[in-house]
Structure 1
Amino acid sequence: MTHRLSTITTRTGDDGSTGLGDGSRVAKDCPRVRLLGEVDELNSHLGVLLCEPLPDAARAALVDTQHDLFDLGGEIAVPGYQAIGEIQVLRLESWLATLNADLPPLREFILPGGCRAAALAHVGRAVARRAERQAVTLAREDIVSPHVLHYLNRLSDVLFVLARHLNVAAGAADVLWRHPGGR
C-alpha cells in the first residue's frame, strides 16, 4: 500500500477553505463540510461506544457501521460519487429488527441513560439526528443521495433501540421520563 498522506500540516486551509475529494475548494462552514463534520463526530462517538464491553453481535454491527459512515463521508466529500446504497440501509433495518425482537414494548418515553454503553448509544443517536438534519440542509442546495438520508435516519433508530438492548443486556433499566404532574 502506498502512503496516503506524507504530511498532515498542509496550511492550505488557513484561509478558511478546505478541499473536497473532487479537487474543488469550499468554505469550511459550507453545508457539505458541516455534514462531513457531523458524520465524523458520529463515527467518533461510535468508536467511544466500542471501547465499552458489548455483546459480540452489537460490536460487529457497530464496526460495520463505522465503515459505512466512513464511506458515507467519502460520498459527501466527492460530489456525484455514491458509496451508500440500499444494501447498507437494509442491513441497518435487519439489525433493527433483530434488536427489537427481544425488547418489551415501549410504553413510556425514555431518557438517555441506564448503563454507560446505553448512554453512549443515546449520544450517538442524537448526533445521528443532527447529521440527518445537516444532510437535509445540504439536499436543499445540492444533490444528496436519498440513501444517505435513509441511512442516517435508520441509524438513529438503531442507536435508540441498541441503547435499550444494551440496558437489558447489562441488567439496567431504561430511564423513564416523569410526566409533569407525576402521572
Structure 2
Amino acid sequence: MGHRLSKIYTRTGDAGTTGLGDGKRVSKNSLRIHALGEVDELNAAIGVLLCEELPEDVRPLLTDAQHDLFDLGGEVCIPGMSMITSKQVEKLEQELDRFNEPLEPLKDFILPGGTRPAALAHHARTVCRRAERSLVALALEEAVNDGPRQYLNRLSDLLFVLGRVLNRAGGRGDVLWQKRKNA
C-alpha cells in the first residue's frame, strides 16, 4: 500500500471521481469502479459467512479467498496489472473437487437455504456471479486479464458446493426445488 491515510476522508471524490491505483481519476460510475465495488461486496459477504460456525477446513479456504479478492481488486484497480494467477484458479478447482466428491450427485435444482451458513454461502455465490458479470462488462470496453474472471467463476462454483457442504454439516440436506409446487 503506497499511500497511508491518516484521515479517512480526503474530499477528492466529492466531484464524483475516484483515483485508480495508477493515479488516474475516473468517474465513480465507470465500469471499472462498478467491478471493484462488486468484488468488495463479495469480500464483505464472505466476511459475514466467516462469522458463522464453520467446519475447520472451510474457514481457511474462505480466508484465503478474501486475500485473493484483495489481490483481484488490486489488479482491477491498476489497469495492466496482473496479480491473479492460474495457480490460484487451480487451487479453487482442487478444493471444488475435494468438497464436491463426497456429495451426492445433483438430480434436482436446489434452493438457496437450509442452514444459516449455507444460505450465506449461497448469498455470497450470487454476489460473486454479479462481480463476474461486472468484469465481463468491463472486458468488453477495456483490457482485462482472464485470471480474475476465471477466479470468480470458480469461486462461485465453490460457494455453491460449500452451501451444500454447510447444510450437511448442520444436519440438513439440500433444499430441493419442487416444480410447480404452488400451481
| Range into which the TM-score falls when normalised by the shorter chain | over 0.9
The equivalent residue for 1:89 is 89
The equivalent residue for 1:20 is 20
The equivalent residue for 2:40 is 40
User: For 2:4 and 2:170, how far apart are their aligned partners in 1?
Assistant: 41
User: For 1:5 and 1:128, how far apart are their aligned partners in 2?
Assistant: 29
User: For 2:21 and 2:124, how far apart are their aligned partners in 1?
Assistant: 26
The equivalent residue for 2:146 is 146
1:2 Cα deviation after fit: 9.3
Q: Please, what TM-score do these two structures have when normalized by structure 2?
A: 0.96
User: For 1:23 and 1:122, how far apart are their aligned partners in 2?
Assistant: 36
Tell me the alpha carbon deviations over residues 11-34 of structure 1, each in whole angstroms, 9 at most, x when there is no partner: 100001000000000000100000
Q: Please, what TM-score do these two structures have when normalized by structure 1?
A: 0.96
User: For 1:3 and 1:10, how far apart are their aligned partners in 2?
Assistant: 12
- Which moves more between the two structures, 95-104 or 173-182? 173-182
Alignment of 1:167-182 (within 5 A): 167-180=167-180
User: For 1:153 and 1:139, how far apart are their aligned partners in 2?
Assistant: 15
The equivalent residue for 2:115 is 115
Pair 1:77–1:50, CA change in 2 (3 A): same
1:173 Cα deviation after fit: 2.0
SS in 2 for 1:84: coil
SS in 2 for 1:18: strand
Residue correspondences, number: 183
The equivalent residue for 1:68 is 68
1:4 Cα deviation after fit: 1.9
1:180 Cα deviation after fit: 1.4
Q: Which AA in structure 1 matches 2:167?
A: N
User: For 1:112 and 1:77, how far apart are their aligned partners in 2?
Assistant: 32
User: For 1:116 and 1:145, how far apart are their aligned partners in 2?
Assistant: 35
Pair 1:154–1:111, CA change in 2 (3 A): same
1:88 Cα deviation after fit: 0.5
The equivalent residue for 1:130 is 130
Q: After the TM superposition, which parts of structure 1 deviate over 4 Å for at least 4 consecutive aligned residues?
A: none
User: For 1:54 and 1:28, how far apart are their aligned partners in 2?
Assistant: 36
Unaligned 5+ runs, structure 2? none
Identity of aligned residues (%): 59
User: For 1:173 and 1:72, how far apart are their aligned partners in 2?
Assistant: 33
Unaligned 5+ runs, structure 1? none
